[in-house]
């Protein structure tokens, strides 16, 4: 039986299940605890927490912040209390980027306005929402195709976002009362010395953990990350990065092809760290 999933997106950002739906699904599959880690916001937490009370599931407040360190690096923050202005400001940059993307699409004659998207999708809108529109308009076959041909880096409707630097991101999570964790470390395609350098740099600014288990990671890959975490005295976390139908291949709690299994004990350590 799977126990926990500490990396989940809802409709508060670019997931397709509402926070309450995520909790209901987690309850159906018997999970004991989940963390809501929407991009740049904790606004989905209140609804998830309340649904968690109804279903008897522990719900942890979290966030995922995009930063840059050569490549795009994501930092998870757990037990966030109050977002400092730096993090709250990220949503404004996102909005400005999104307005440009919507304008590019409208200039091509597509029936897209950012105002309508805000009304339909809410406050934190990302490229998957543009992908969804492209699929609905019959221009893209699926989300992978939408990224490959339209919204992925270098494509017609790609506009970069200004991200906050990695040091400030980690510090902002600490200042928000949260525990910063390096997300999905293999996504950055770093060599072992490069990954260690990244970890050490983040630790200088308050990093407390590494996401060791993640959708698609092999037992060998996770084992390597767990040994790294232990060597640095960092916490271990794990989660699926569930986005609902925006990443249909990823299942809540169990990842891709059931590869994921995260022990409840890791959450206990994380909770202890947050209370210190």
- Which residues would be at the binding site for ligand AMP (CB under 6 A)? 14, 39, 66, 126-128, 143-144, 147, 161, 243, 247
User: Quick check: 205 binds Fe ion (CB under 5 A)?
Assistant: no
Tell me the closest approach of the beta carbon of residue 268 to ligand AMP, in angstroms.
Answer: 28
Contact predicate 7/37, CB 8 Å:
yes
Tell me the closest approach of the beta carbon of residue 248 to Fe ion, in angstroms.
Answer: 13
Contact predicate 238/269, CB 8 Å:
no
Those residues whose C-beta lies under 8 Å from the C-beta of residue 162, and which sit 6 or more positions away, are 93, 97
Tell me the closest approach of the beta carbon of residue 171 to Fe ion, in angstroms.
Answer: 19
Closest residue to ligand AMP in the complex (CB): 126
**Of the two residues 143 and 267, which places its CB atom closer to ligand AMP in the complex?**
143
**Of the two residues 90 and 183, which places its CB atom closer to Fe ion in the complex?**
183
User: Quick check: 14 binds Fe ion (CB under 5 A)?
Assistant: yes
Under rule CB under 5 A, which residues in 66-95 are in contact with Fe ion? 74
Tell me the closest approach of the beta carbon of residue 64 to Fe ion, in angstroms.
Answer: 5
Name the pairing type of β-strands 58-69 and 71-78: antiparallel
Say how far residue 120 (Cα) sits from the centre of its chain: 21
Instruction: Return the one option of Zn ion, ligand AMP, Fe ion, none that residue 247 interacts with (CB less than 5 to 8 A, by type).
Output: ligand AMP
Helix (H), strand (E) counts: the chain: 10, 8
**Of the two residues 64 and 132, which places its CB atom closer to Zn ion in the complex?**
64
Instruction: Return the one option of Zn ion, ligand AMP, Fe ion, none that residue 163 interacts with (CB less than 5 to 8 A, by type).
Output: none
**Of the two residues 147 and 266, which places its CB atom closer to ligand AMP in the complex?**
147
Distance CA 58, CA 250 (A): 21
**C-alpha distances in Å from residue 44, one per residue of 9, 119, 124:** 9, 16, 11
| Long-range contacts, stretch 96-99, CB < 8 angstroms, 24+ apart | 97/159, 97/160, 97/161, 97/162, 98/125, 98/130
- Tokens of residue 234, six digits: 């960092």
**Of the two residues 14 and 47, which places its CB atom closer to ligand AMP in the complex?**
14
Tell me the closest approach of the beta carbon of residue 9 to Zn ion, in angstroms.
Answer: 6
Binding site for Fe ion (CB under 5 A): 14, 74, 183
Binding site for Zn ion (CB under 5 A): 64, 241
């Amino acid at each position: 039986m799977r126990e926990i999933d500490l990396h989940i997106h809802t409709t508060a950002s670019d997931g397709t299940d509402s926070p309450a739906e995520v909790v209901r699904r987690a309850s159906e599959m018997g999970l004991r605890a989940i963390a809501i880690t929407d991009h740049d916001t904790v606004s989905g937490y209140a609804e998830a927490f309340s649904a968690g009370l109804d279903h008897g599931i522990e719900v942890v407040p979290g966030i995922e912040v995009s930063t840059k360190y050569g490549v795009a690096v994501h930092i998870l923050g757990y037990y966030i209390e109050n977002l400092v202005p730096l993090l709250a400001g990220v949503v404004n940059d996102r909005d400005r980027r999104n307005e440009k993307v919507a304008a590019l699409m409208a200039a091509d004659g597509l029936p897209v306005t950012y105002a309508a998207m805000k009304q339909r999708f809410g406050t934190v809108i990302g490229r998957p929402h543009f992908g969804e529109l492209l699929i609905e308009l019959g221009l893209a076959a699926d989300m992978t195709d939408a990224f490959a041909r339209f919204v992925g880096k270098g494509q017609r409707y790609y506009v970069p976002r200004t991200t906050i630097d990695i040091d400030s991101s980690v510090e902002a999570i600490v200042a928000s009362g949260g525990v910063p964790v390096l997300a999905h470390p293999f996504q950055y395609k770093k060599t072992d010395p490069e990954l260690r350098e990244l970890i050490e740099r983040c630790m200088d600014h308050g990093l407390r953990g590494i996401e060791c288990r993640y959708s698609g990671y092999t037992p060998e890959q996770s084992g390597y990350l767990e040994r790294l975490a232990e060597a640095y005295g960092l916490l271990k976390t794990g989660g699926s990065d569930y986005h609902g139908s925006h990443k249909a291949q990823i299942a809540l709690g169990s990842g891709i092809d059931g590869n994921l299994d995260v022990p409840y004990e890791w959450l206990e350590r994380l909770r202890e760290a947050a209370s210190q």
